[in-house]
Structure 1
Amino acid sequence: MQSPDDAAPGQPADRSQPGPQAGTTAVGTSTADAADRAPVPEPDRASARIPAQAGERAPVDTPTETAVPSDERRSTAVRSISALFAILAILVTLVHVFFVFLHVAPSNTLSQDYRKETGTWVYPYFEQNWALFAPNPMSENFRLQAQSRVRNADGTVVESGWSDLTGDDLKHIRGNPYPSKADQNMIRRAWSSYTDAHEAKDETAIGTRGPLTQRYLRRIVVHRFQDAGADRRLESIRIRVATTPVGKPGGKPEPETAYRTLGWWETKPDDFR
């Protein structure tokens, strides 16, 4: 009988001969050895799930790649808040620059239309004492001084010497990193308003603002004397202003000081409020 190995090329082998059947191993190989060599598939750890107990829902598979770390979420929130504050700061800066520009720029249609809004924004904290394109620095220094008449309990009237109110303000300003706006501008602006509304020769009021500026200046002086202890016994006050031109550095002779003395102003009950 011809064996399968002796079959002619191109012809099928004789399958009638008995050979190894399915479920048997080759000659010389034991079943245990075959089992050792057979690969054992490892369980898929990613897809392994704990069986759901009775009455429980099966866990939903959530891809690990889509979970956002808490640090990254916190970092995103911080960046968003920082960007919001940066935008607000830029907007406030632009608004501030716009109103200050209108305040210091020469008078034009836009500044006239927004005069009320500009004044509300600028005064009293962002006041500018110079004009854009046409600066007008001060060329003289002035010091406002005042004296008072106080009636004593026995009916006698005492006239005080001159008090340097501007000098008192300068003491509060110098060496103070955050000086008060009142110390810097109140007396100066009150005197400037008075001189703009009164003639220098005879103190005649110019327009309707004259009496108002006089009352304003008088009340400031009365309150200064109140702080000094004069209180309601103060009957009248008098004001003078010492003006000294700003000289050149090292220039000689020194500029002379000129005085402008006003008359006595009787105090009113409203001045002490």
Structure 2
Amino acid sequence: MQSPDDAAPGQPADRSNPGSEAGATAVGTSTADTTADRAPAPDPARPPAWIPAQAGERAPVDTPIETAVPSDERRSTAVRSISALFAVLAILVTLVHVFFVFLHVAPGNAVSQDYRKQTGTWIYPYFEQNWALFAPNPMSENFRLQAQSRVRNADGTVVESGWTDLTGDDLDHIRGNLYPSKADQNMIRRAWSSYADAHDAKDESAIGTRGPLTQRYLRRIVVHRFQDAGANRGLESVRIRVATTPIGKPDAKTEPETSYRTLGWWETKPDDFR
């Protein structure tokens, strides 16, 4: 009978020999036990290593079950909320502005009369309109603003000047000037128009709350003009008159007659010389 040791290489051992099989089993068991004792115990806190089955295969990424909202997303939501709030406020302010401007330029009606005070408070002085929306009113007359001054000299005497044509001075700066100043074109004209609209032509009494403001504004313009002409703080008072001439027809045979509206003397204030 051939022993397991006598078996040729590459040939299985003789299965008929129980001792041979038992010996092989014993040797296998001993080897497995030794390998198990030698391998380290798995760490429950460390995830098992994962080896890709193929080259180029990506490892799985653990995704948390409850994901918090990123800070960038929270910030973006707050910015959108604030932007929406400002947009709503801008729309409301725009609607209110359009409403008051419409009442200001529209023909007189019951609504514009009821909200006349509120409209004036909103429109003046920054949003004033000098044209009518449905009924434009072109200029039908020319006016020239003229002024006088009273100056107290160092010896106590008071000197009254003649009439100075302030509108004529502005026209001299405009004619022949390629880039005329807006102040020369509009300041005197607009100042007088505002004053005339806010005062009664008969007794110069103020109409509404804008009367004193328009008077101070016109007085300061005149004081500054006299200062530019050489008058100093000895300027005690000024007086204004307006020469109005209707615009006649081209084929008129006679010249239109000029009318004058003369105001009283206005005493100067320290703020007028700023």
Normalised-by-shorter TM-score class: 0.5 to 0.7
1:185 aligns with 2:187: no
Give a deviation string over 1:228-255, Cα, whole Å, max 9, x none. Answer: 23645546635233557499xxx99xxx
Secondary structure at the residue paired with 1:239? strand
- Root-mean-square deviation (Å): 5.0
Unmatched 5+ stretches in structure 2: 1-21, 48-62, 174-178
Instruction: Give the count of matched residue pairs.
Output: 210
The CA deviation at 1:85 is: 0.8
| Aligned equivalent of 2:3 | none
Equivalent residues of 1:143, 1:242 under 8 A apart: yes
- How far apart, in 2, do the equivalents of 1:146 and 1:114 lie? 36
Which of these residues, 144, 161, 164, is aligned with residue 162 of structure 1?
Answer: 164
Give a deviation string over 1:9-33, Cα, whole Å, max 9, x none. Answer: xxxxxxxxxxxxxxx9x95993456
- How far apart, in 2, do the equivalents of 1:45 and 1:27 lie? 35
1:211 aligns with 2:204: yes
The CA deviation at 1:157 is: 3.5
1:237 aligns with 2:242: no
Stretch deviating more after TM superposition (138-147 or 181-190): 181-190
Unmatched 5+ stretches in structure 1: 1-23, 47-61, 199-204
**Cα distance 1:85–1:193, how it changes in 2: closer, same or farther (>3 A)?**
closer
The CA deviation at 1:156 is: 6.5
| Aligned equivalent of 2:28 | 30
1:74 aligns with 2:47: no
**Cα distance 1:100–1:272, how it changes in 2: closer, same or farther (>3 A)?**
same
Equivalent residues in 2 for 1:8-27 (5 A)?
A: none
Give a deviation string over 1:19-65, Cα, whole Å, max 9, x none. Answer: xxxxx9x95993456978xxx9895768xxxxxxxxxxxxxxx9554
- How far apart, in 1, do the equivalents of 2:236 and 2:151 lie? 5
**Cα distance 1:238–1:70, how it changes in 2: closer, same or farther (>3 A)?**
closer
| Aligned equivalent of 1:4 | none
- How far apart, in 2, do the equivalents of 1:161 and 1:239 lie? 9
Equivalent residues of 2:246, 2:258 under 8 A apart: no
The CA deviation at 1:115 is: 2.5
**Cα distance 1:98–1:236, how it changes in 2: closer, same or farther (>3 A)?**
closer
Equivalent residues in 2 for 1:1-273 (5 A)?
A: 30-31=28-29, 32=31, 63=64, 65-150=66-151, 152=153, 153=155, 155=157, 157-164=159-166, 185-193=190-198, 197-198=200-201, 205=202, 210-212=203-205, 222-227=219-224, 228=227, 229=231, 231=233, 234=236, 237-241=239-243, 243=245, 245=247, 259-263=258-262, 265=264, 267=265, 272=269
- How far apart, in 1, do the equivalents of 2:167 and 2:87 lie? 44
The CA deviation at 1:222 is: 4.9
- How far apart, in 1, do the equivalents of 2:259 and 2:236 lie? 23
The CA deviation at 1:82 is: 1.0
| % same residue | 45
For normalisation by structure 1, the TM-score amounts to: 0.54
For normalisation by structure 2, the TM-score amounts to: 0.54
- How far apart, in 1, do the equivalents of 2:240 and 2:91 lie? 50
Equivalent residues of 1:145, 1:162 under 8 A apart: yes
**Cα distance 1:76–1:232, how it changes in 2: closer, same or farther (>3 A)?**
same
**Cα distance 1:155–1:66, how it changes in 2: closer, same or farther (>3 A)?**
same
Equivalent residues of 1:147, 1:237 under 8 A apart: yes
The CA deviation at 1:192 is: 4.5
**Cα distance 1:63–1:150, how it changes in 2: closer, same or farther (>3 A)?**
same
- How far apart, in 2, do the equivalents of 1:169 and 1:213 lie? 30
The CA deviation at 1:262 is: 4.0
**Cα distance 1:220–1:99, how it changes in 2: closer, same or farther (>3 A)?**
closer
Give a deviation string over 1:112-146, Cα, whole Å, max 9, x none. Answer: 33233222222222222223322223345533122
